Amino acid sequence: MSSLDEKNPALMMNRREAIKRTAMMLGVAVSASTIAGCMDGGSSDSAVGTNWSPDFLSKAQGQVARALANVIFPKTDTPGAIDVGVPQMMDLVYGKYMDDEEKTLFAGGLDGLSAAGFADLSETDQAAAVTTMADSMDATDKAFLRKVRELTITGYFNSEEVCKNVTTYDPIPGSYVACVPISETGNVIMSEPR
């Protein structure tokens, strides 16, 4: 290890490792439809809060999506998923970016939970219902919950409120060290993954 690494341990992680750790944190790969929805997330005019009405989902599906987002990220000392517009982002991704297979899976899961009265349950009972679905052996339930989790986590951490006031944004991770003798970099002139 060079003296540069000893001074700056943050420089020891390369880009590939950072992406791998981020993917592990999410627990799933992020789909193209979710990425597209996040990139277009600011274009939705829907109000955040209790007066929200979905543009693409049915009202009942929107209520279930809202309840699921709240189970995953409830409001604590930081804003919850509802506070930052995650259900609106789910609606936008469903309406504009999901392919037919994803729409069928997502709408079917929302309809099933709506028929079971999920949105009317207490928050404790909703969390228990989600846990039961996650523990079930039904592949469709698991795929639906993965999609909901993906949309909720991605929508939450890409919201303006969370990016500005909850997380710390560091556009260039690690510190910048200028004028380092080349012998301390292992005779590497340009930055390479280590």
Say what the pLDDT of residue 162 is: 87
Is residue 59 predicted with pLDDT exceeding 90? yes
CB contact burial 12-24 (16+ within 10 A = b; e otherwise): eeeeeeeeeeeee
Q: What distance in Å separates the CA atoms of residue 30 and residue 32, rounded to the nearest whole number?
A: 7
Average pLDDT for the chain: 79
What pTM did the predictor assign?
0.67
Predicted confidence band of residue 30 (pLDDT cuts 50, 70, 90): low
Q: Which has more pLDDT, 22 or 136?
A: 136
Is residue 6 predicted with pLDDT exceeding 50? no
Residue 82 identity? I
3-state secondary structure of 77: coil
The mean pLDDT of 59-88, rounded to a whole number, is: 94
Rounded percentage of the chain residues whose pLDDT exceeds 70: 67
Predicted confidence band of residue 160 (pLDDT cuts 50, 70, 90): confident
Q: What distance in Å separates the CA atoms of residue 54 and residue 37, rounded to the nearest whole number?
A: 15
Say what the pLDDT of residue 194 is: 47
Is residue 69 predicted with pLDDT exceeding 80? yes
Say what the pLDDT of residue 165 is: 85
Say what the pLDDT of residue 5 is: 44
Is residue 139 predicted with pLDDT exceeding 50? yes
Is residue 43 predicted with pLDDT exceeding 50? no
